[in-house]
Amino acid sequence: MENDPPIVQFCPKGNVLVVAEQSLGQIQPVTLELLGAGRILADKMGKDLHCVIMGYDLGDLPNQLIHYGADVVYVADDEALQYYRTLPYRRVLVDLLDSLQEPPHTMLLGSSTTGRDLAPRIAAHFETGLTADCTELDIGPYEHKSKVDPTKLGLYPNCLYAIRPSFGESLKARILGPWKNPQMATTRPGVMIPLKIDTSRQGQIHNIPVKLNSEDLRLIVAETVKEVSSGLKLTEAEVIVSGGYGLGSKEGFELLEQLANCFNSNAIGASRKVVDLGWIPYQHQVGQTGKTVRPKLYIACGISGAIQHRVGMSKSNIIIAINKDMDAPIFKFAHQGIIGDIYQIVPELITQFKALQNKSALGGKSVVGSR
Ligand SMILES: Cc1cc2nc3c(=O)[nH]c(=O)nc-3n(C[C@H](O)[C@H](O)[C@H](O)COP(=O)(O)OP(=O)(O)OC[C@H]3O[C@@H](n4cnc5c(N)ncnc54)[C@H](O)[C@@H]3O)c2cc1C
């Protein structure tokens, strides 16, 4: 048709590339999720799904990536890559992309500590766009109508739609970067769906060179300490005391520990916001992208009650919410609500529960302990 916009043959080039994460000989779950999402995007464009894995003594991991959906796996196996370090990993990725005949159409990393560190380095190097923390990905057309730069007018097929919550997570924003490949995104762990493992899948494995210089090796890993979680797992505890941003700082969890210790079978939970802030490790997160829990008692301290938190704990037998905002959404579904400051109410609760404990000890019967 005469008035149809010109189709700009820019976006359809290149494959989808997933940057894998492994730790201590295990592929991280977010990588499997990215392969699931990447497979859908690649199939939609009729392209291949590529994956790159970096590390040392990687053994069978490249094959596992094929079993989870990759067509081609690039492997950088070198002692210098044993532990994640920004500069060596960045160097390997930049060299890989430079060596390809055409850049990937889309490059995906996890919104993990590693992915959040690495992705902007790559995007900055190639001067391309990056959308962080996506919850959905898709491929579709984009028609550029703005006449500000007439050279860009036209219909761009097969653009990456990087979709993520926006405006306080109340809206979904679809973010596009059609001008340059790779179009980059990181995705939140736990959101994308991995494919079922298929050990009959075949693919290609290419070893790639690792050429690092002294600048890349400035940082030395002196020691790695594996975090060992203490106490009961969230899914096993009968009483969960959970903390949110209202705690004000990570030290607030010490007070919640004291409250939790009033019960025999207890665990500490948390909202995603405080996990993202690094106040408490991810294994404590309750909600859509954390654990789903069903304890006998869930005490939510300084948690607003966003839908993504609610879906992880609303099946608890009894929910008690402590929040200083009487309009906080959590009061709409908590069984008991206490309006006030955590730092006034929790110490008082601890005193009361301890008094009950002492009383029941005298009577020879545990009132507070649930086991
Ligand atoms: C795809 C997706 C997945 C997500 N997954 C999860 C998930 O798994 N789990 C999760 O929790 N969130 C998840 N979120 C985030 C969620 O939307 C909220 O942003 C998050 O739950 C808010 O955490 P919060 O309640 O700690 O913080 P806020 O919303 O900031 O609430 C803090 C609350 O503390 C109260 N407060 C402040 N000071 C005090 C005080 N001194 N005493 C008492 N109360 C006080 C405030 O009134 C407020 O209600 C997800 C979001 C998305 C988009």
The reply to whether omega before 182 is within 30° of 0 (cis) is yes
Closest Cα to atom 22, ligand 1: which residue?
A: 273
Atom of ligand 1 at shortest distance to CA of 303? 25
- Paired with 171 in beta bridges are 166
308 Cβ inside 6 Å of ligand 1: yes
Strand order in the sheet with 336-339: 266-270, 239-243, 297-301, 318-323, 336-339
DSSP state of 196: P
109 Cβ inside 6 Å of ligand 1: no
How do residues 203-215 score in pLDDT, each as one tens digit? 999 999 999 999 9
Distance (Å, whole) CA 21 – CA 135: 18
Atom of ligand 1 at shortest distance to CA of 342? 42
324 Cβ inside 6 Å of ligand 1: yes
Rounded to the nearest angstrom, the distance between the alpha carbon of 243 and the centre of ligand 1 is 9
In this structure, how many other beta carbons lie within 10 angstroms of the beta carbon of residue 111?
23
What are the phi and psi torsion angles at 123 (to 5°)?
A: -60, -40
Q: What is the pLDDT of residue 2?
A: 53
Closest Cα to atom 47, ligand 1: which residue?
A: 325
246 Cβ inside 6 Å of ligand 1: yes
Closest Cα to atom 19, ligand 1: which residue?
A: 273
Rounded to the nearest angstrom, the distance between the alpha carbon of 302 and the centre of ligand 1 is 8
191 Cβ inside 6 Å of ligand 1: yes
279 Cβ inside 6 Å of ligand 1: no
329 Cβ inside 6 Å of ligand 1: no
Q: What is the pLDDT of residue 111?
A: 87
Q: Tokens in use for 25?
A: 């000989």
Q: What is the pLDDT of residue 370?
A: 38
* Cβ(17)–Cβ(51) below 8 Å: yes
Which position has the higher pLDDT, 7 or 217?
217
Q: Is the pLDDT of residue 170 over 80?
A: no
DSSP state of 364: T
Q: Is the pLDDT of residue 109 over 50?
A: yes
**Cα dihedral: 74, 79, 82, 87 (round 10):** -80
Atom of ligand 1 at shortest distance to CA of 135? 1
Atom of ligand 1 at shortest distance to CA of 341? 42
Mean pLDDT in residue range 124-129: 96
Output the CA–CA distances (angstroms, integers) from residue 23 to 27, 76, 186, 246, 330, in the order listed. Answer: 7, 14, 18, 33, 37
**What confidence tier does 68 reach under pLDDT thresholds 50, 70, 90?**
very high
How do residues 28-52 score in pLDDT, each as one tens digit? 988 999 999 999 999 999 999 999 9
Q: Can you tell me whether residue 156 is helix, strand or coil?
A: strand
Closest Cα to atom 42, ligand 1: which residue?
A: 341
Rounded to the nearest angstrom, the distance between the alpha carbon of 1 and the centre of ligand 1 is 51
Q: Is the pLDDT of residue 284 over 90?
A: yes
Q: Is the pLDDT of residue 318 over 50?
A: yes
Distance (Å, whole) CA 115 – CA 121: 10
Q: What is the biggest distance separating any 2 CA atoms in the chain, rounded to whole angstroms?
A: 91
Q: What is the pLDDT of residue 366?
A: 42
Q: Is the pLDDT of residue 179 over 60?
A: yes
Name all domains of the chain by residue range, CATH numbers in brackets: 16-217 (3.40.50.620), 239-363 (3.40.50.1220)
Closest Cα to atom 23, ligand 1: which residue?
A: 273
Mean pLDDT in residue range 343-352: 96
How many helices (H) does the chain have, and how many strands (E)?
8, 17
DSSP state of 76: E
287 Cβ inside 6 Å of ligand 1: yes
Q: Is the pLDDT of residue 11 over 70?
A: no
In this structure, how many other beta carbons lie within 10 angstroms of the beta carbon of residue 229?
11
Q: Is the pLDDT of residue 261 over 70?
A: yes
Closest Cα to atom 38, ligand 1: which residue?
A: 246
Q: Is the pLDDT of residue 121 over 90?
A: yes
**Cα dihedral: 148, 126, 31, 222 (round 10):** -140
Q: Calculate what percentage of the chain has a pLDDT beyond 90.
A: 69
Atom of ligand 1 at shortest distance to CA of 245? 26
